[in-house]
Structure formats: structure tokens, C-alpha cells
Amino acid sequence: VSALLTIGEFSRVTHLSVKALRHSDDVGLLQPADVDRSSGYRRYASAQAPIAHVIRRFRDLDMPLEQIRVVLDAPDVEARNQAIIAHLERMQQSLERTQSTVASLRALLEGTETTLSVEHRSVAAMPAIAIAEQVDWDDTEVWLGAALAELHGVLASHPDWRAAADAALYSTEFFAAHSGPVVAFVPITRQSAVAGRVQIIEVPAAELALTMHEGPFEDLDETYGALGTFVAERVLGAAGPIREHYLVTEADTDDPAQWRTEVCWPIRQPFIDGGGERDP
């Protein structure tokens, strides 16, 4: 015999606020067992309390209501557990990011001064196999990993067709709007059969100011800051995408401190190679 409770009683039984309960009703996540036709009064069955307790815990974990609905509507225990595990994994990743951000922040505030060495490089146009897409900022690392893996698949049977390291072009729009065109590419020595997302492009010639980034991608902003400042102070800036060359990556070592990425800024004209001071 499941009793009917007013919204106020149900809030005491579930520890959800009346406003939160009404909102869950509005979006269809947790609807009262009965609603009075004339007064609009909501009546909850006491048997609904366990569902509300589960909702409360997921909300404490910042799971969006929409996704809680997916979990609760899961057709079987397997699907439900899948959805829960997926959320817990995302939380775990966000936790790891948090920890490395804290480390990165500490380093930044301690302010070790580093010498920046910038090289000029004049690159000719080159053929490449490539995947070009609109990419959102927060998806970039995952997208790039998948795109490069797909390109590696094309070269799997002809490793000698590779002409240079993995690389990518990032449009100015991508930085300005945190969403925009990105091109992942691998330079090649000869034509190869391609299909699906993969296409053959010619990466345009460019004059580039280039420096080496040492460490995780998360800290790339500091290298961009140093290189961009170097270019701006010499009034060398030119239009065009920024290039990154992935020389040492996760595929080579698990220690992000060992990773090496060349960052290439488009410039108008050559300059005498040299060093500058990096800001603290």
C-alpha cells in the first residue's frame, strides 16, 4: 500500500527541494503519481522515493538531468550500468585534468624564466593525406587522436610513404570561437588510395616562426604566448593557420613532460634566427 504524499512531504522524504521537484516534473524526469485536475496539486507515491534518492545522488555528481533520464530509462541493467560507468569515467578524467591543471598553475605562479629559441623555416608546398573538419575546442585532443589513427591506417602497409611527422593546421577561427576548421595531416612521398574522411591535399607553402614546446598540450598556451609575442613585437605577423608538428607524443612515452611539439606561427618574411626572453 503505497501512500500519496504532498510535494512538501515528498521533499522531506527525498531531501530534494520543492523547486527541484517541480523542475523535475516540468522536464519529465520525475512526475508525480497523480496531479489533481482542478487544483494542480501534485501527489507523489511513497514508492517513488527510491527513484528520487537515485536522482539526488546523480545530481550531487553533477550529472545533467537529461542524462539521468537516459540512465533511469535504460531498458536493462546492462545499458544502465554502461551509462553510469561512462559518467564515472568522464568524472575520473576531469579529476585527472584538475590535478595536472593545479600542477601547471603552481609552475606558472612560481614563474621560472626560460629562454625562448625561435627558428625561421621556409616550407614548400607538400602533398599529404588529411582529414579536415569543424572541431570544437574541448573535443580537439580526442578528435586529433582518432584522425591521426585513421591516417596511420592508410599508411599501415607502406610506412615508407610517410614524408614527415604527424601534423595539424588550426584556423584562426578555431582559436577565436573555440570551434572551427582543423586539418590533421601526414605528409607523403607518393599518392596513395584514400577513402571516407581521408583526402589528399596540398599543404600550402609558408614562412614560419617555429619553436619547440616541451610538455603536455595543456601548457601549449604558454608557448603560444611566448612565440606570438616574439612575432608581434617584430611586426612579423601574417594571416594563416597555425601548424603543430607532433614529434614525441603519447605513442612514444607515457610521461607528458617528454612530449615534443613544434609550434609554427605564420610570418610575412624571414628573420635572422635568434632567441628571445620568455615572460615569467
Partner DNA sequence: TTGCTCCTCACGTCACGTGAGGTGGC
Pure H helices in 127-216: 140-155, 172-177
Q: Where on the phi/psi map is residue 107: left (φ > 0), alpha (ψ -120 to 50), or beta? A: alpha
Interface with its own copies includes 140 (CB under 8 A)?
A: no
Q: Are 129 and 167 in contact (CB under 8 A)?
A: no
Q: Is the dihedral of CA 105, 175, 180, 166 positive or negative?
A: negative
Q: Are 189 and 161 in contact (CB under 8 A)?
A: yes
Cα separation, 256 vs 260, in Å, equals 9
Run of H or E including 214: strand 206-214
- Binding test (CB under 8 A) with its own copies, winner from 23, 33, 46, 150: 46
Indicate the angle between helix axes 65-73 and 49-60, nearest 10 degrees. 130
Cα separation, 22 vs 28, in Å, equals 10
| CB of 40 or CB of 111, closer to DNA | 40
Smallest distance from the beta carbon of 5 to its own copies, in angstroms?
6
Residue 109 binds: one of DNA, its own copies, none (C-beta under 5 to 8 A by kind)? its own copies
Binding segment (CB under 7 A) for DNA, from list 23-31, 153-161, 185-193, 224-232? 23-31
Smallest distance from the beta carbon of 136 to DNA, in angstroms?
7
Smallest distance from the beta carbon of 3 to DNA, in angstroms?
13
Binding segment (CB under 8 A) for its own copies, from list 9-17, 34-42, 143-151, 156-164? 9-17
Start-to-end CA span in the chain (Å): 69
Binding segment (CB under 7 A) for DNA, from list 36-44, 45-53, 122-130, 154-162? 36-44
Three-state DSSP class for residue 111 = coil
Beta-bridged to residue 158, according to DSSP, are: none
Residue 66 binds: one of its own copies, DNA, none (C-beta under 5 to 8 A by kind)? DNA
Interface with DNA includes 38 (CB under 7 A)?
A: yes
Binding site for its own copies (CB under 8 A): 1-5, 8-9, 11-15, 17-20, 46-47, 49-50, 52-54, 56-58, 60-61, 84, 88, 91, 95, 97-98, 101-102, 104-105, 108-109, 137, 172, 175-178, 220-222, 224-225, 228-229, 232-233, 235, 237, 242, 279-280
Binding site for DNA (CB under 7 A): 6-9, 17-20, 22-24, 27, 36, 38-42, 59, 64-66, 172-173, 176-179, 239
